[in-house]
Amino acid sequence: MGCDIHAHIEVKIGGRWEHYSVPSIPRCYELFEKICGVRGDVKNAISEPRGLPSDPSIVTMLDYRQMACDAHSETWLNGEEFVSLLEWVEDSLLFERRRIGYLFGNEFTPRDGVEAVRFICWFDN
């Protein structure tokens, strides 16, 4: 049985996390290992699974609740960790550039008022 990722990008504006996008990320076990050790060794990961953040946006939480008991290895990356992940993806040439895009298919340029960015994800088999 395969493992898929479900991800959300959130931005912090006015001290509150707002939903930004649902990136389309193809199944790639090397990437899943790099994020949090899923389907690989957590020693190679940016971090161990952290669970969901305590303050996800409503959209992210609604999507997560639809997964119910199928979701596992919930985690999130802060902006610096996310940039590190994107650099690793480019360096590793796991995907053709046209498939990965900006922020996995969503162009994003920080604008005035955006205090932070985070990447939230979970997996299902």
Structure-block tokens of residue 103: 């922020």
The answer as to whether 52 is a domain residue is yes
- Alpha carbon distances (Å) from 46 to 2, 17, 81, 83: 22, 22, 7, 11
The answer as to whether 125 is a domain residue is no
The answer as to whether 14 is a domain residue is no
CB-count burial class (<10 Å; 0-12, 13-18, 19+) for 48? exposed
The answer as to whether 57 is a domain residue is yes
Q: Report the predicted TM-score, pTM, of the whole model to 2 decimal places.
A: 0.86
Please give the residue range of the domain that contains residue 90.
4-9+19-108
What band does 58 get if pLDDT is binned at 50, 70 and 90?
very high
Question: Does 54 have pLDDT greater than 50?
Answer: yes
Question: Does 1 have pLDDT greater than 80?
Answer: no
The answer as to whether 54 is a domain residue is yes
What band does 70 get if pLDDT is binned at 50, 70 and 90?
very high
The answer as to whether 124 is a domain residue is no
The answer as to whether 46 is a domain residue is yes
Phi, psi of 10 (to 5 degrees): -125, 150
Domain count along the chain? 1
The answer as to whether 68 is a domain residue is yes
Percent of the chain with pLDDT over 90: 60
Q: Which DSSP category does 104 fall into?
A: T
